[in-house]
Structure 1
Amino acid sequence: MFFQKLIFVISLNAFLQDICGIKLPDTFPKCRIQDENIQECMTKSAQTVISILKNGIPELDFPTLDPFHIDSLLLPDLDGPVTLSQKYSNAILTGLGDIKIINFTIDKSTYRIQAKVTTPQITFYGDYEVSGHILVLPMVGTGKVNFTLSNISSDILLEFNVIEKNEIEYLEITKVHVPIEAEQHYFRYDNLFNGNKTLGDNMNAFLNEHAEEVAADMRPVFEAACDETFEKYLNKLFTNVPLSLTKNVLTVKKYTA
């Protein structure tokens, strides 16, 4: 049945073993649509995939998940209590390998994937350039930055279309959304105000005293930029895994690449 095959694609089961030479553990859950515990099985399979992606898949040019490298992150200017121009580069995201999947579902008629995940901590290290205002205070500088989020939860959404390349069908991600809710936020910008330690320390203290407000204003643009980055890399997986569709099992509008 095709949907069983789709689950195997999501879990990268046969593909990882046969094409990439990655050996899956003997306990890897093999899910069947007719099983009563299908959602539980898929959740366990998805958790196993996280452990595999943690080290990357060189054969697909898929980077390590933990640490995850981001060459450049250019954010649109913020307008509101936080009005900042922000650019980040040479960044490393740590903690994604510790994601715990609470629930994982696939809608077989739309290819829509939803997952509830948690992780204890994610840290973003990198270079920054900022200019603007945080609430009522001016903020300007270039240097190293550290954002640390703790006790994180997220309701992840993936949406797909079927594309055709050389008469072979593939899944292509059309939407990724990873909203982030964290119980704690920590900000540290080094070298603010041309290295003025007093002003820089005061600004960092102010950021952390008002962490919830600052995070709420910055979250949408960060989420949008990260969604775009994750979509790019996840499509390296899905657009390289052929699908042999069984006629009349699923109906999805097809797009020709």
Structure 2
Amino acid sequence: MNKILLIFSVIKIFCSAEKSFINFGSFICPREENALGRCLRDALNSYIPQLATGVPEYGVPSCEPLFVPSLAIEQTAGPISVTSSYTDVSVRGPSTMRVKDVQVHSAKHEVIATLHIPELRMKGNYNLKGKLLMLPIEGDGKFSAKYDDIDATVTIVLGRKPRLNAADALACKKLDVMFNVKKVSMDLDNLFGGDGDLGNAMNKFLNENWEKLSKELQSPMEDALKDFFKPLADHVLSTLDADDILLP
């Protein structure tokens, strides 16, 4: 009788322990929210370097460089009134980001991650026309830009995605990004139809006033980052069962 009770006790402890942990790739994460957040942070940081070359077995393409086919920005309020478009944009640096913290809020169906990107370098084609701080600007040509020390907060609203003959997967219903950047530098070729003096003066002005300009253009940039993070979140979350994270 004692042996039978011992066996049932062991089984009970094993089943209880199994429910207290979540498999996330090669990581076994505790279910408790604070510990789960730390474990997900470590798991993501081990996964991020693979983004440089991509993870074909999971359908995740290379992001070094990350290609953005087109991006349009229209800002017509405040000191900036500019319509601009960017095409064939390549971005280097996403795979160097580090996740600093992950907060899991199961009852709210929410995950909040803070991360740091040391540097993003962009280049491509641009076309713009309008006014910056009351100064006229126009150009059409090549551009390059560098963003240093980016701190971002990514907020994910969690949901469910049905799976055939299996438990529902975790899903990213909505993703929002807020970021702060320490410094921006840029260079626009062929400003004012190739006028060298005017072009050099405007590039100097842009780099000296990047803080004022970046505040006005922050919303479009956050939308661009959102487009980058959403597919990554979709993939990462789809590896987890919804019932492992979500509370009723």
> Residue 179 of structure 1 aligns to a residue in which SS?
strand
Q: Hey, what does 1:184 align to over in structure 2? A: 183
Match of 1:72 among 67, 70, 73: 70
Trace 1:17-166 onto structure 2 (pairs within 5 A): 29-34=27-32, 37-164=35-162, 166=164
Q: What is the Cα-based RMSD across aligned positions, in Å?
A: 2.7
Deviation at 1:108, TM superposition (A): 2.2
Question: Which of 194-203 and 171-180 deviates more?
Answer: 171-180
Unaligned 5+ segments in structure 2 are: 1-17
Displacement of 1:109? 2.7
Range 101-110 or range 194-203, more displaced: 101-110
Give the secondary-structure state (helix, strand or coil) at the position aligned to 2:146: strand
2:211 is matched with which residue? 212
> Relative to structure 1, is the Cα distance of residues 35 and 183 closer, same or farther in structure 2, using a 3 angstrom cutoff?
closer
CA distance in 1, matches of 2:233, 2:38: 25
Following superposition, the deviation at residue 37 of structure 1 comes to: 4.3
Q: Structure 1 or 2: larger helix share?
A: 2
Following TM superposition, by how much is the alpha carbon of 1:135 offset from its aligned partner in structure 2, in angstroms? Answer: 0.9
- Matched position secondary structure for 1:206: helix
* Secondary structure of residue in 2 paired with 1:65: coil
Aligned-partner SS, 1:178: strand
Which amino acid in structure 2 is aligned with residue 216 of structure 1?
Answer: K
Q: Please state if 1:200 is matched with 2:199.
A: yes
Give me the whole-angstrom Cα distance separating, in 1, the residues matched to 2:140 and 2:20: 50
**1:34–1:79 Cα change, 3 Å:** closer
Between the aligned partners of 1:152 and 1:229, the Cα distance in structure 2 is 15
Cα 1:105–1:244 change in 2 (3 A) is closer
Q: What amino acid is aligned across from residue 211 of structure 2 in structure 1?
A: E
2:75–2:217 Cα contact (<8 Å) kept: no
Q: Which residue of 2 aligns with 1:171?
A: 170
Equivalents in 2 of 1:85, 1:245: separation in Å?
Answer: 46
Alpha carbons of structure 1 residues 111 and 57: separation in structure 2 relative to 1, 3 Å: farther
1:92-112 Cα distance to aligned partner (Å, 9 max, x none): 111111112211122223442
The one-character-per-residue Cα deviations of 1:189-245 (angstroms, maximum 9, x if unpaired) are 1111121111111110010111110111111122123313432x2365258647374
Output the TM-score relative to the length of structure 2: 0.80
Residues 176 and 228, structure 1, Cα contact 8 Å, conserved in 2:
no
Sort the Cα spacing of 1:235 and 1:35 in 2 relative to 1 into closer, same or farther, 3 A: closer
Q: 2: CA distance between counterparts of 1:3 and 1:74? A: 47
In 2: Cα distance, 1:189 partner to 1:78 partner: 21
Larger Rg: 2
Cα distance in 1 for residues equivalent to 2:20 and 2:246: 8
1:158 deviates by 1.6
**CA deviation map 1:13-57 (0-9, x unaligned):** 1xxxxxxxxxxxxxx643222597443333211211212233212
Query: Do 2:91 and 2:123's aligned partners in 1 also have CA atoms closer than 8 Å?
Result: yes
TM-score, scaled relative to structure 1: 0.78
1:108–1:250 Cα contact (<8 Å) kept: yes
In structure 2, do the counterparts of structure 1 residues 34 and 182 end up closer, same or farther at CA, with 3 Å as the change threshold? Answer: closer
How many correspondences in the alignment?
A: 230
Aligned match of 1:224: 223
